[in-house]
Amino acid sequence: MNKNSKVLALKYRPQNFSDLIGQDVIAETIKNSIKEGKTPNAYLFTGIRGVGKTTIARIVAKSLNCLNGIDNLCSTSFCENCSSIANSNHIDVLEMDAASKTGVDDVRDLIEFSRYGPTSSKYKIFIIDEVHMLSKQAFNALLKTLEEPPHYLKFIFATTEIKKIPITVISRCQRFDLMRVKSSELFRFIKNICLKENGKVSDDALKLIVKISEGSVRDSLSLLDRGLLSVENGKELNLDKAQEIFGYFDKSQLIDIFELILKGQEKKVIEIYRKIYDQGVEPKVFINDFLELIYYFKNIESLTIESTNFSLNDEEFSKIKTISENVDKQILILFWQFTIKTLSEIDIVSNQNLSVEMFLIRLMYLNSTNIENDNFNNDNFRKSTKKVDFESEIKKDAIDQIKNVIQEKKTKPQTHNEIKSKDRIMISSFEDLIGACEQNKEIKLKYELEKNVNLVYFEKNRVEISFNENLDKNFVKDLSLKLYEWTNERWIITFSKIKGDISVREKKEKKRLELFEKIKDTEIFKRVKEKFPDANLVDVKKKD
């Protein structure tokens, strides 16, 4: 370890395979290949930033050239080769940054240099970082050397953009995909470093660092370094201080906002958001955290606290689980789609803070629920969510759906007293629905229902149908409006991936064909056929 460096990311950089965290399988594979003498011509390491691509490249270079051999690889006191490689000044191990040397001439110089054997070690090794930055011509120049290099030459490539590397290059390398480091493993790692550095950091603050770093070891060490430098000697870095330093906020506030949105308490929602904004939280960060919270609400039953990447503590996890039991999952999916839409639109607005406030208010109108107290139950919530007319994102996005809700409210044909004075149409089956269309001369709707609708499920105030590309684009909106007009009740119309029943028209045609076959099998038809061989059955009518 580079004990002279004051930067934690460099000071605690792994120097051998045993120091690595989160990449055990890759380390074991490489060690075995070196022991068996089956090393590839070229290694290719890919993964997100800070998971050890360049670090492993150097460790591989040491393993191949260590004077003590792979079984006794230097760990504390380094041999001459390992020490030179660690300090990036070994004459036979060349490190090149492809971001600054991208041209074909740079690669030609490299190939020319490769013609000479190693000076003081077993292998000559070229480590090329961010290899995807090489030009197309540079890659082409490498191909032949990669496929049939001299026995003493090894290439080690590292990249964060594997898709930008030509497949002809990838096929000539032994590829290793480095994984994000698990939250629990990264937590133990940085906690151990805190003890070595005599730094006082609470577990909650460490968990926040793990969450922000997103599985990157380098990011976690850089954040820890920053956190330790931000507190006075002898004082502890707690969660509140860490949130202030890193620009994050207490997730319990976000959960409170979400719960208040479901209850429609606009004033309290805006008050809490403004407090969060005053803490220095960027609107985009808030929206991304809101997205993450929606995911937790939707999938909380299949999650553990660890799988939330330490984003939640025990109390918050339990609270989300309790609230989610009373939330319609379709509403959460609608919230997700609408939040994604807002995230893409937020850069258009000059004052992003105001945009977020309007986003939260629009979510309340989208939900259209009126929950008066904390003790709401499943039945009450589901009844209230019937104010949302439909939630199909197959052919409509979230904006269209909100527009439909607003249009329905604006186009109420009659007042409550007027509708009460007339007989409402009772629709309790799909056949009743078709009959209502015929009775009210809604020929277009009747045509769509009979020809292009495949029914999956029908109950009072809810219709579920299979998606059909032939359906008129305004079908759901038009049907919702008419159902409200006829029944004075909100109806939910959803599209399903389940293959529904055949259409009414197909059923009629099927019955007609079955009747034809039945008639053709009668004695009277057979006798007609005998006397008139060219006779054909064209229609069947019931005799009065």
Locus of tokens 């760990």? 75
115 Cβ contact list (under 8 Å, min separation 6): 150
**Residues 274 and 416 grouped into a single domain:** no
Q: What is the pLDDT of residues 421-445, one digit of tens each?
A: 456 788 888 888 888 888 888 888 8
* Ramachandran bin of 460, using left for φ above 0, alpha for ψ from -120 to 50, beta for the remaining angles: beta
Q: Which one has a higher pLDDT value, 497 or 439?
A: 439
Q: Is the pLDDT of residue 399 over 70?
A: no
**Residues 322 and 432 grouped into a single domain:** no
Q: Where are the beta strands (DSSP E) in 287-336?
A: none
263 Cβ contact list (under 8 Å, min separation 6): 369, 371, 372
543 — pLDDT class (breaks 50, 70, 90): low
The Cα–Cα gap between 94 and 136 comes to 22
**Residues 127 and 30 grouped into a single domain:** yes
Asked if 352 and 287 count as a contact pair (C-beta separation under 8 A), the reply is: no
Q: What is the pLDDT of residues 203-230, one digit of tens each?
A: 888 988 988 888 899 999 999 999 988 8
The Cα–Cα gap between 402 and 340 comes to 15
Report for 52-56, 313-317, 496-500: range of highest mean pLDDT: 52-56
Task: Tell me what pLDDT residue 384 has.
Answer: 40
Task: Tell me what pLDDT residue 350 has.
Answer: 80
Q: What is the pLDDT of residues 240-255, one digit of tens each?
A: 888 888 877 667 788 8
Domain that holds residue 106: 8-177
The Cα–Cα gap between 365 and 368 comes to 5
Task: Tell me what pLDDT residue 309 has.
Answer: 61
Q: What is the pLDDT of residues 153-208, one digit of tens each?
A: 999 999 999 999 999 999 999 999 998 888 888 999 999 999 988 888 998 889 88
- Could you give the residue ranges of the DSSP H alpha helices within 452-522? 475-487, 504-520
Q: What percent of the chain has pLDDT over 90?
A: 17
**Residues 363 and 274 grouped into a single domain:** yes
> Which of 148, 177, 206 is at the close of a domain?
177
311 — pLDDT class (breaks 50, 70, 90): low
Query: Would you mind telling me the total number of residues written for the chain in this entry?
Result: 544
**Residues 214 and 256 grouped into a single domain:** no
Name residue 60's amino acid: V
Q: What is the pTM of this model?
A: 0.58
Q: Is the pLDDT of residue 405 over 60?
A: no
Q: CATH code at 95?
A: 3.40.50.300
Task: Tell me what pLDDT residue 386 has.
Answer: 40
221 Cβ contact list (under 8 Å, min separation 6): 8, 9, 12, 190, 193
Q: How many domains is the chain built from? A: 4
> Which of 177, 192, 219 is at the close of a domain?
177
Q: Tell whether 435 is covered by a domain.
A: yes
Angle subtended by helix axes 239-246 and 217-229, to nearest 10? 110
In the structure encoding, which two tokens stand for residue 220, read together? 């976690």
Q: 152 by DSSP, 3-state: which? A: coil
Q: Which one has a higher pLDDT value, 411 or 108?
A: 108
The Cα–Cα gap between 145 and 125 comes to 13
Q: What is the pLDDT of residues 112-138, one digit of tens each?
A: 888 888 888 899 999 999 999 998 888
Q: Is the pLDDT of residue 337 over 80?
A: yes
**Residues 294 and 337 grouped into a single domain:** yes
230 phi and psi, to 5 degrees? -90, -5
Task: Give all strands of the β-sheet with 462-466 in edge-to-edge order.
Answer: 455-459, 462-466, 492-496
Q: Where are the beta strands (DSSP E) in 86-129?
A: 93-97, 124-129
Q: Tell whether 227 is covered by a domain.
A: yes
